[in-house]
Amino acid sequence: MFISTRSPLVPVVALGLAAAIFAVDALTPLDVAIAVLYVAVVLLSVAVWPRRGVIAVTGLCIALTLIAYGMSHGFAQNDAALARCLVSLAAIAITGFLALKGQAAALALLEREEALNQARGQLAHASRVSTLGELAASIAHEVNQPLAAIETHGEACLRWMNRPEPDLGEVRTAVQAMQRDARRASEVIRRIRGMASQSAPAFIALDVNEVVAESCDLLRRELQRHGAGLKLDLQSDLPAVKADKIQLQQVIINLVMNAAQAMAGAGARERRIEVRSFVDRDGGGENGQNGQHVDAPAVVVEIADSGPGFAPDDLKRLFDAFFTTKQDGMGMGLPICRSIIESHGGAIRAWNRAPHGAAMAFRIPVAASAVELPA
């Protein structure tokens, strides 16, 4: 029977094995180095105890070896038994030393991975803040619209109230409109604060269509500034995915903005962006950028434009860190997008459309609880 190294039975097995080895070594007249088997006890201790625990177990095994030798041979002259004892002690000590070195190396590796993850999170946060800076005019417009509407409805409300015979029905309608616009302004601010915050990812069940719609709402004025039209073709009744909403918004906003900026920079006459969502039931034979297989089923979001497309040489390097085709670009947007999507267990890819245009798509596995897929 296989016992996991994380099982609470491991310490019991280690201590039981040590007791069995001691009993055989101390109470039987076998002419073999039974104490060498303490090596297994030391190796088991690495899986369940920290550095001090491993040192204690190694010392215990050495002590048991000496006690067993004393019980079996005492002070009698026995060169063969003494040699076996010394071999056992050397094996236990060397194993303990190597185990401690390996444990320290594993801890150092975990610390480096944790630091790398923190650096990735900070870089993704910096990218979001930079994106919000680019969208400052759009954000101001999105917030200003409901505020201006509230002012207009407030003035209308006062006019209806100041009439010789106040029209309470119209007053009620105006107040309800003010409440609706206030909620809209509050929602915009909530989204912006969420994107600007630096917090640990929260993987929850999400409706991808809602995330796409909210992300594109923040981009409306930016798309108008670049003269790009946006069309949403979102499949209804998509199964939920388990994802972090803020990170998913970051990916969508980055890809849509890249499409708009690429078409504007190339001077394309017709500037159309289409965002599609659909279910990929079998994976479509796609692999992630790092070559791993992507399990099915998954929800796919595709962003396509009517621009000139990617240069063949650029297409191979799009997701490389610090590679950019923009004059003022940092070359981190797409690598961060890839890192986010792969951290969700998905993949992202880019290709040229026929006869012209570029497309990017990412796929995220369906949440385990979403077993019913749309027909």
**356 and 234 within one domain:** yes
Ranges 95-104, 177-186, 197-206, 220-229, most confident: 95-104
- Domain membership of residue 282 (yes or no) is yes
pLDDT in tens, 19-78: 888 888 888 877 778 888 899 899 888 888 888 888 999 999 999 999 988 888 776 667
Q: What phi and psi values does residue 230 have, to the nearest 5 degrees?
A: -125, 130
With a cut of 70, say whether residue 182 has pLDDT above it. Answer: yes
The domain total for the chain is: 3
Q: What is the pLDDT of residue 275?
A: 95
Residue 120 located in a structural domain? no
My answer on whether 217 and 295 are in the same domain is yes
In a domain, 128, yes or no: no
Q: Which of 198, 223, 238 is the last residue of a domain?
A: 198
Q: Are residues 179 and 266 in the same domain?
A: no
Mean pLDDT of the chain: 80
Q: Which residues pair with 277 in a beta bridge?
A: 234, 301
Decide if 358 contacts 350 (C-beta within 8 A). Answer: yes
Mind listing the pLDDT tens digit for each residue in 5-29? 456 677 888 888 888 888 888 888 7
Q: Could you write out the three-class secondary structure of 354-373?
A: CCCCEEEEEEEEECCCCCCC
Judge whether 373 lies within some domain: no
Domain co-membership, 337 together with 226: yes
Q: How far apart are CA 244 and CA 211, in angstroms?
A: 10
Report which listed range, 13-17, 131-135, 331-335, is most confident. 13-17
pLDDT above 90 for 183: no
3-state secondary structure of 202: coil
Distance, CA of 318 to CA of 336 (rounded, Å): 11
| Bond preceding residue 297 cis, omega within 30 of 0 | yes
Q: What range does the domain containing 102 cover?
A: 9-111
Statement to judge: residues 163 and 102 lie in one domain: no
Is the pLDDT reported for residue 131 higher than 90? no
Taking 50 as the threshold, does the pLDDT of residue 93 lie above it? yes
Q: What is the pLDDT of residue 134?
A: 59
Residues 350 and 264 in one domain: yes
